[in-house]
Structure 1
């Protein structure tokens, strides 16, 4: 329900996720989160996050509802909801459990079409229903959902040391640290004495070296979590930096 979710590990809009079958392990650079069948959470926009899924008896089913900014602004105006000032942090927001959510999820089933999308005629109505339930049981969500500001300038060094593993472009890193791309590159050079692209690759590969040598993990087990898109690229970059293939560390 709502716009397509970005393939990047950047969350562009708030997302509600209900896990019907299976398990999910999430990570946002700070903490790890686990969801089991029947559980649900809110994933906040303007965060970096990723999750891995595990099937249960060969099945994995989830319901995803996107609360995009245009919908939220119209909802706020319609229901006259005021925003406070939440101190909540982290990409994954745990929600108060209520049978109303489970009932809502099952109520969606008749409205789905053959393409596993909600019938367009009921899209806004059902999203409003869900949001009204969430705000009734988790009133603090208003502070998160109705904050339409852009990220403010933050500590670049701390942010990059926490998030270098995420596979997103420099423009995303710049935006999330409250900078233009040019000021991001300029500040980065002052702090790390290197370009962002070179530093990120070196940082990921040094972590890979540690995980393979000390933790005895295989390259195939770690390259995706370290932000590399394919194993061959990872192996090529590893050999270029260290002078030998990652397989040399396995033994």
Structure 2
């Protein structure tokens, strides 16, 4: 079995983006780019995400919080997190930016735990934070350098060899940053999140039902079952009704164009939004103030 190697999406600026993927284990990406202007990208993380910044700066926005990861630093983010990535090149080095990231599946973490025979309470002493920032040091810098031939050479990468490299990464982390490793292990032990909280915080976001299930720490089938038991309706219908009610509130309390309200409550097509609104309330968005009582 071989590791899938592929080029990332093409950018309108000088860039090199190579991805190594082993299903059920991990995905590793190296990103070498020139960013004279900050580059923004939104993403829902489906696996625990570990980022190493080699050159430039990588800002990460999660909800209301913002983190800045500089050259020589690494950052851990738990799975089921919706993030905004902002890449900034180093102006002193022709705006160059370089990073290596790892999306780690649960199975490879379990394999590592078994390999080094971690026992006792895995959560003892770990922080409650879902994000951690550390300098990564010389040992992990050497490890990152050792990965470059796997990205740059034309040879096929064997699955077994790739797994050894991921296990080597986890071992280096456990030796140099035990708290960091402990946190990574503990992230998988989090209980499912309260559904009402998840839905209230995210119904205006462009998430799919699968994304919401992931955010809640449930499988898709468990999410649907738990949701309908709590709300007595389907997720799609609940989201639509919440968005339309939010839109009505905005029309009544503020003087906003229909298009602005449409986008504010999570819709992208004004005509579609207007049809849903009229179907739900019985009148057009522009007639809302005359029906507010």
- Measured on the aligned residues, the alpha-carbon RMSD in Å equals 4.3
Q: Does 1:180 align with 2:223?
A: yes
Q: SS of 1:19's equivalent?
A: strand
User: Which runs of no fewer than 5 residues in structure 1 stay unpaired?
Assistant: 245-251
Select the residue among 188, 195, 220 that pairs with 2:237.
Answer: 195
Q: SS of 2:174's equivalent?
A: helix
Q: SS of 1:122's equivalent?
A: helix
Q: SS of 1:89's equivalent?
A: coil
Larger Rg: 2
Higher percent of residues as strand: 2
Q: How does 1:99-178 map to 2 (within 5 A)?
A: 99-114=138-153, 120=159, 122-147=161-186, 152-164=191-203, 166-175=205-214, 176=216, 178=218
Between 1:153-162 and 1:74-83, the stretch displaced more is 153-162
**Aligned partners of 1:110, 1:95: CA distance in 2, in Å?**
25
- Check whether the contact 1:18–1:40 (CA below 8 A) recurs between aligned residues: yes
**Aligned partners of 1:163, 1:124: CA distance in 2, in Å?**
35
User: Which runs of no fewer than 5 residues in structure 2 stay unpaired?
Assistant: 1-19, 29-40, 278-283, 287-293
TM-score norm. by structure 2 comes to 0.59
TM-score norm. by structure 1 comes to 0.67
**Aligned partners of 1:141, 1:135: CA distance in 2, in Å?**
7
Q: How does 1:1-251 map to 2 (within 5 A)?
A: 1=20, 2=22, 3-4=26-27, 9-29=43-63, 31-45=65-79, 47-56=80-89, 57-82=94-119, 83-85=122-124, 86-90=126-130, 92-114=131-153, 120=159, 122-147=161-186, 152-164=191-203, 166-175=205-214, 176=216, 178=218, 179-188=222-231, 195-199=237-241, 201-202=243-244, 233-236=268-271, 243=285
